[in-house]
Amino acid sequence: MDGTLRCARCDRDHRHQPAAWRCQVCAGPLNWQRAPGPWWRRRDLARRPAGVWRYREALPCLEPTAGLADMATPLVPLDVAGVPVLAKCEFCLPTGSYKDRGAAVLIRWLQAAGVTAALEDSSGNAGAALAAAATRAGLALTVFCPASAPPGKRAQIRAYGARLVAVEGPRARATEALLAHAEATGAAYASHLWHPLFLHGVKTMAFELWEQLGGVAPATVVCPTGAGSILLGLHLGFAQLLAAGLIRALPRLVAVQAERVQPVCQAWHAGDATVTPATATEPTLADGIALPGPVRGMEVLAALRDSRGMALAVTEEEIADGVRQLGRAGLCVEPTSAVVWPALSRLHQAGRLPTDGGVVAILSGNGLKAVGVLADLIEPEGAPAAP
C-alpha cells in the first residue's frame, strides 16, 4: 500500500492502518497523500482504455482490476436561457451514478489491505455503487440504509448481493446503527463520506473533463452538493492538474443545495470556516444531498474559496422544474441532479455565467432511481390522460 493516510486535523500518520476511516486520536477525517508519478501526456492517454485507472499516475499504485468505472461519461450540450452548457452525464455509469468512480478505487484499496467484509451506510446511490464494486471484488458488504430511502435504490443494493439493513428514522440513525455494529464486530467501514480513497476515485471526473475539453479546464462547474464528494473530487483533480502545469487556473466551482437542507450554503454566506450541521430540516425532492452536514465541511468551504466559487440553494418548485426541463432536453435525471438547472438559470440572471462556453453541469444520478417521484412530477396524480 503506497502513500500516507494522514489526519486533516491533527496530522497524525495512519500509514500502517490502511483500513482506517478516521483518525484514531482526534476522530478527524483522513487524507491520502502521495506525490503523483510522472504526469501523463495526452497522446499517451489516448492509448489507454477509458475509466478511472486511465489516470493511474495520480492514484494509488494498485494493480487495476476490470470494473464498473472503466468508461468515460459523455458531455451533452444544453441551452440554458441562450447560454451553452455541457452536461457531464455521470448517470451513464453502470450503477447509475458518479459514485462508481469512488467505489472502484475505495474497494480496490480495501481489497489490497486484506479486507474481506465491510460496512457502509447510504441512502441509495453510494450503497449501490459500493455493493456492485464489492461483489465483483469478492468482498462481502453490509449496507445500513434509511428505511425511507427510495424502494428502487434499496432493491438495487440487494440485487448486487449486499446485505441490506433498513433503519427506521432520519438518515443519521443508519450511521449510528452501523457504528454500533462496527464496534461490536470490528468490521471495516467502507465509508464514501469518510474514506479519502473514495474522493480520489471521484477526482478522475476532473481529469476526464480536462481531456474531453482538449486539455483545458472549464471556466465554471456546477454540481449538486450534500457531503461534497463531487465538489471535493473536482477540486482535488483540478488542483493536481494545476500543480502539474496542465491547466492555467482552477475552474469556478458552484455548490448547489436544496433550500430545505442547506448547511453548506448557510455557512458560505455567513463567511464561516466550517459547516454547522442543520438541526431543523424538511424532506426534499433532492434526497441524495439531504445531509445535515458534510463530514469534510471545512474542506468544502476551502474548495469554494480556493476556486473563487460560491454556494446557492434552490426551492422544491425549482427542483421539480429542473427535472422537467432536463427531461425535455432528453436527459432523465433524479431530482438531486436536477438542482443544477435552476442554479444555472439563476447564475445567468445574475450575470455570473460565462456566455461563451466553458460551463459544465454535473448530472450525478439516473432518473430511474426515483421513478415514483418522477412520475408524480411529470404527470401528477389525477391529471387527465393524453388523448
Q: What is the pLDDT of residue 3?
A: 80
For the chain, give the percent of residues with pLDDT over 90. 76
User: Which among 32, 197, 3 has a CA at the least distance from the CA of 111?
Assistant: 197
Least confident piece of the model among 220-234, 280-294, 304-318:
280-294
183 Cβ contact list (under 8 Å, min separation 6)? none
Enter the pTM of the model: 0.94
Contact 123, 365 (CB under 8 A): no
Q: What is the mean pLDDT of residues 247-265?
A: 97
Q: What is the mean pLDDT of residues 147-166?
A: 92
Least confident piece of the model among 63-72, 292-301, 332-341:
63-72
Q: What is the pLDDT of residue 385?
A: 47
Decide if pLDDT at 356 tops 50: yes
> pLDDT digit string (tens) for 49-83?
999 999 999 999 887 777 788 899 999 999 988 88
Q: What is the pLDDT of residue 43?
A: 86
Q: What is the pLDDT of residue 1?
A: 61
148 vs 89, which has greater pLDDT?
89
Q: What is the pLDDT of residue 380?
A: 58
Distance (Å, rounded) from C-alpha 262 to C-alpha 286? 11
Quote the DSSP letter at residue 56.
G
Decide if pLDDT at 296 tops 90: yes
Contact 224, 336 (CB under 8 A): yes
Whole-number mean pLDDT of the chain? 92
C-alpha cell at 241: 492538474
Q: What is the pLDDT of residue 372?
A: 84
User: Which among 370, 3, 58 has a CA at the least distance from the CA of 202?
Assistant: 58
Quote the DSSP letter at residue 13.
B
Distance (Å, rounded) from C-alpha 293 to C-alpha 333? 24
Residue 38's pLDDT band (boundaries 50, 70, 90)? confident
Decide if pLDDT at 28 tops 70: yes
Q: Left, alpha or beta for 271 (phi > 0: left; psi -120 to 50: alpha)?
A: left
C-alpha cell at 156: 438495487
Query: Dihedral through CA 146, CA 149, CA 151, CA 157, nearest 10?
Result: -70
> pLDDT digit string (tens) for 341-350?
999 999 999 9
Distance (Å, rounded) from C-alpha 97 to C-alpha 93? 6
Decide if pLDDT at 34 tops 90: no
Contact 343, 359 (CB under 8 A): no
Domain architecture of the chain: domains with CATH:
1-33 (no CATH), 75-97+197-377 (3.40.50.1100), 99-193 (3.40.50.1100)
